Structure 1
Amino acid sequence: MRILRGGRAVDAVDPGDRGLAYGDGVFETILVHRGRPVWWEAHAARLAAGAVRLGIPLPDAALLRAEADACVAGIARGVLKLILTRGSGGRGYSPPVEPVPTMLLSLHDAPPAVPAGGLALRWCDTPLAVQPRLAGIKHLNRLEQVLARGEWRDPDIHEGLMCDTQGWAVCATAANLFVRLDGQWWTPPVDRCGIAGVCRSWLMAHADAGERELSPDEVERAEAVFLCNSVRGILPVARLGARRWPPDAATSALIERLAAAEPAFATAGPETV
């Protein structure tokens, strides 16, 4: 792990760091493939947008890229996590006038391959709060996702879908949601809650997908469903509760299109048992 405070390397995170105390920061989770951070520009742009939204000074872009490259050099496949906090500021919610931000870079193992036949999902009981000021950005406050993911221990359930407090389907605990209704791909908007995912953005631009509110009933009657995130790519859904979907040719075509555009996802196909 690399830790930078105000752009300078330090040995440890300050116990008074606001990221630890209040979740005062943003983060990115980036696929590493053959020594390269995949979709770096998109991740850096989202990190910057989140920092601007929260009023956290941005790290030097060249320094951040150099540190990231040093972390992933020689790594065949893995995950790079970047955390940017407002830094230390004493006790109390009031942010410091001149914050000295902290940046953490850490490497992690790549997640398992997509299960053969697709994902099995459930509906989560924990709702997402509607908060437009935080919507879209990847801020450090993830307790809703922690509570939702703690709702099940069944290894045969791979993910859970979350609704907001108004009852609209939003996302999975760690992925964006896409459904096909009447031949058109749709994904829920992220202007009230949820994350504007990097893979989601790619699909919005390249898959003729639109945004619209989706009820749980609409999700369950969809012709096809998949999840996506920037580490695992496109994840076909085979089951949601009692609802089952067969393999979908249109989803497979999107997976092939993504792999052609970004070779890192060409190695992320279904498991062979």
Structure 2
Amino acid sequence: MRTVTIKTIGVLGLLLTPFSAFGQDADFTFKRVPVPQAGTTRRITVQIDPAEQARARAALEQRAAERAAEEAAKAEADVQTAEADDTPKSGYEWFWASVSPALDEAGPANVMKALETLTARADLQAPRLQTLQDIAKAYGPDILLATIGTDISPALVVALISVESSGSTTAESEKGAMGLMQLIPATAERFGVTDATDPSQNIKGGVKYLGWLMKHFGRDPILTLAGYNAGENAVTKHGGVPPYAETRAYVPKVLAAWQVARGLCLTPPELMTDGCVFAVNGV
């Protein structure tokens, strides 16, 4: 049994409570931890069962491999369908018809419109709840520790990981992006990651980059996600979300995943800059 001792900051009054938003689940148990009095030196001891965490991570890797195979087959079909069309399509043109990609129209109203547009889309394929739960269960402690003192919600990190790698530590893109949060070598070096396949390092580096982007783009999550996918220079060059098919699909995918992932928290965050504590057993 591995033991991690953490000072009782409000955000790490984290342990186990039911995830009622999606019904009963054997992986969720109930335990409330009160917020400590100011100045207290008491600590919370978080016990993590290495065997249980290893099982969760192995299951996550298997599901990620299955999803990668499905997406590869779909991508091949999409290429065949689009051969007669020289204009790259994201499949999310309906989203950007309602949501502005422009830098000068960024702000809370545009973000709210984006979330409303996704909610209203009846045929939108929702992210797999099981994948989000497994990511939070396998990597929750690393995510919570990495996001303390940042403008990045742990729920947003889970959502981004689900889209980037489906929770696979060995995922690698054609461009050389690696690990859970798909860090390219230049970004990994920029944020102090020496081994992008190490979950803890990858998450720390990815969260640092997200935090930097959030500050750079005035805490706007749409521009932040676009920058994470295409690079901050591409966002600046195009005056907003670049017209790349991949990026135009990536932003709404992560936003849709966040809408589900926020339900994994004891108190669902209202904003993508809000902290949260996961209600998942094993964290």
Q: TM-score, normalised by structure 1?
A: 0.25
Q: Which has the higher contact order (CA 8 A, sep 6+)?
A: 2
Which structure shows the bigger proportion of residues in strand conformation?
Answer: 1
Q: TM-score, normalised by structure 2?
A: 0.25
Which structure shows the bigger proportion of residues in helix conformation?
Answer: 2
